[in-house]
A and B are shown apart, each in its own frame.
Chain A
């Protein structure tokens, strides 16, 4: 089982996300993360899906997704040729004993405090999944109150684009 990331260009219409995500359920494949948003052209949305799977799952998904009428283009994002990012918002307990440690962690990870209250610190951090995971592990002992992460967005390095027309 390997992790892979799909970038899918779809028609920007209601119901398309359901079509794509229900295909995963129907074929018995699991999504790890999914992000979706409008692209530079309002005609299209771009869906980024990351998941674990083997070669069979990868090939089947590519082919099954290609059959959906609203899917215009689909590509597997190869690790070496892709910039991937995730964004995490995390609320950590704020107490006089741990505050300095939290602030240095924020500093080292080049993240930032986006909200400060007497009992809680809200931190924003972006980076690759591994960096996000490491940061969560680091602040866990200080008391995570709640957190929210976006899942992966990915773009190919260089001048190649998903939509080349």
Chain B
């Protein structure tokens, strides 16, 4: 059948299993929006307030499900507004396809109105990108974009389509979705060597990253840990891979990691990193990080092996497949002394949680955690609130923690929460801070128009807390531009957008507001007052190590 380029784009999206896309119309995508209109009963489109929000929504959609998120934007500013969203997805290996319009081919390269070389701009933050100048290549290019986004280590792919290609017509036929490109397979000799190293180890420690979630290997990690009798730690991206309730799970390690998890890592004689990439936030000083242990590094991306930390054994392969094979080759290990040591670390950690007469971030998270089911998607923005959630929220199921790790994008959360809701229809809670929320709160309008009952827990301390924490520690309490002095009335702001607004000073008020928000099934903002001298602890200073762990900070003025 003969179709226009615009119709082909929509047909391929549907063919690739895409049920909902996020975007914003503009001059160079009017034709695609017309094709969307014609197919509006077959594919849903969520109109956001800003293209950045749409990109984060597509990202949240992908993180919450593992499916590829799709975002659509016009040329020029529409396309550049996607950039932060694409970079966020790239750094966290999230499968995404971004479709942008561009000026007609004859106007390319002439600084035409709203023309930007978006392929050039996104070159370092996409797995691959295309500009399609021939209508006959459009369908297969889009198919390849989906295939690349999903294959191996996932990531974003951008397809730029000039307007004349959207208008041109050609024959189109649906094709079956092609499987992902073949993965590298773990080498048998390497697996045998891994078994040898594991058998020799007395204090193994599993460090899992986001790759475990991408690969769907949470169960295999738990089984592997049982067989080798090892505790499990994780990077921030690895949170939710393993249920919090698993007694082997010690939580996140690294800069703001759990005490027990970071300590166990530093005491271990064998570190088995799985689907993780040894980010500087996870390791701190790399020489100290590895001083006591050998490393086995398993990752689907061969380029991650020995990139940040040199391993004694690198295995490139899909995490799930590799673990299944490895488990079948292992015999049951027992390390009672190591387990006892871990138990002591856990006890010590439990004593560090302080009680306070006023509501602490920990109390806020506890209150929300107690009210929400395990199916709830918890999105965050970036900063102190994000670290508190990463430390304390008890995630029981994978893909329930949606947070920007690698890029650390403030303003990520609301868009991502909207995408996660559209993908799952599960309850969605966004934890945010007054700094992050201020960046993209315009997406409240999107939540309201689309009846997305996201509950926003705003940890409002009136400061840019994470930077302020560094200023407290390393800049003699020079609070340069981190005190917000804003007069925003957040509950009123929420109501102005058509959402519900609440304020909570105590956990009782918070619980009450939560009940009302849940019952109303409408977007709601709960403004929770947090003391500006609440700090994220423990903390390993940047470039520091477990030897420099900070467990207490004296706040207040200099």
B119 contacts the other chain (CB 8 A): yes
> Of the 9-residue stretches A30-38, A63-71, A133-141, which lies at the interface with chain B?
A63-71
Q: Are A18 and B148 in contact (CB under 8 A)?
A: no
Closest to B306 in A: A59
* Nearest chain B CB to A83 CB, angstrom units: 30
Interface 1/0s, chain A 66-87, versus B by CB < 8 A? 1111100000000000000000
Q: Residues of A within 8 Å of B, CB-based: how many?
A: 15
A22 to B120 alpha-carbon distance, docked (Å):
10
Cβ < 8 Å to A, chain B residues 405-429: none
Q: Are B123 and A67 in contact (CB under 8 A)?
A: no
A15 contacts the other chain (CB 8 A): yes
Q: Are B119 and A22 in contact (CB under 8 A)?
A: no
Closest to B133 in A: A14
Main secondary structure of the interface of A (DSSP, over half): helix
Cβ < 8 Å to A, chain B residues 280-314: 301-303, 305-307
A70 to B126 alpha-carbon distance, docked (Å):
13
Q: Are B148 and A63 in contact (CB under 8 A)?
A: no
A19 contacts the other chain (CB 8 A): yes
Q: Can you give 17 contacting A-B residue pairs, CB < 8 Å? A: A15-B119, A15-B131, A18-B123, A19-B123, A22-B123, A26-B124, A59-B306, A60-B303, A60-B307, A63-B302, A64-B303, A66-B302, A66-B303, A67-B301, A67-B303, A68-B128, A69-B128
A63 to B119 alpha-carbon distance, docked (Å):
23
Chain B residues closer than 8 Å to A26, beta-carbon distance? 124
A112 to B182 alpha-carbon distance, docked (Å):
52
Chain B residues closer than 8 Å to A59, beta-carbon distance? 306
Binding site for A on B (CB under 8 A): 119-120, 123-124, 127-128, 131, 148, 301-303, 305-307
A69 to B119 alpha-carbon distance, docked (Å):
14
* Nearest chain B CB to A16 CB, angstrom units: 11
* Nearest chain B CB to A126 CB, angstrom units: 34
Closest to A67 in B: B303
Closest to B123 in A: A22
Chain B residues closer than 8 Å to A18, beta-carbon distance? 120, 123
Chain A residues closer than 8 Å to B302, beta-carbon distance? 63, 66
Other-chain contact of B124, A22, A60, A63, A66 (Cβ < 8 Å): A22
* Nearest chain A CB to B265 CB, angstrom units: 24
Chain A residues closer than 8 Å to B148, beta-carbon distance? 69
Chain A residues closer than 8 Å to B123, beta-carbon distance? 18-19, 22
A56 to B306 alpha-carbon distance, docked (Å):
8
Name, among B120, B131, B301, B303, the residue most crowded by chain A CB atoms within 10 Å (CB to CB).
B303
Chain A residues closer than 8 Å to B306, beta-carbon distance? 56, 59-60
Q: Are B307 and A69 in contact (CB under 8 A)?
A: no
A68 to B148 alpha-carbon distance, docked (Å):
11
In the complex, the 8 A-B pairs of residues with the closest C-beta atoms, listed nearest first:
A63-B303, A69-B128, A26-B124, A64-B303, A63-B302, A22-B123, A67-B303, A69-B148
Closest to B125 in A: A26
A149 to B301 alpha-carbon distance, docked (Å):
37
Closest to B144 in A: A69
Chain B residues closer than 8 Å to A70, beta-carbon distance? 128
Q: Are B124 and A69 in contact (CB under 8 A)?
A: no
Interface 1/0s, chain A 1-33, versus B by CB < 8 A? 000000000000001001100100010000000
* Nearest chain A CB to B299 CB, angstrom units: 11
A69 to B302 alpha-carbon distance, docked (Å):
15
Chain A residues closer than 8 Å to B127, beta-carbon distance? 67, 69
Cβ < 8 Å to B, chain A residues 111-152: none
A60 to B131 alpha-carbon distance, docked (Å):
28
A27 to B123 alpha-carbon distance, docked (Å):
13
A26 to B124 alpha-carbon distance, docked (Å):
7
A15 to B132 alpha-carbon distance, docked (Å):
12
Closest to A64 in B: B303
Closest to A68 in B: B128
* Nearest chain B CB to A152 CB, angstrom units: 25
A63 to B303 alpha-carbon distance, docked (Å):
5
Chain A residues closer than 8 Å to B307, beta-carbon distance? 60
Please give 20 more A-B residue pairs, beta carbons under 8 A apart, in addition to A15-B131, A67-B127: A15-B119, A18-B120, A19-B123, A22-B123, A22-B124, A26-B124, A56-B306, A59-B306, A60-B303, A60-B306, A60-B307, A63-B302, A63-B303, A63-B305, A66-B302, A66-B303, A67-B301, A67-B303, A68-B128, A69-B127
A116 to B88 alpha-carbon distance, docked (Å):
59
A63 to B148 alpha-carbon distance, docked (Å):
17
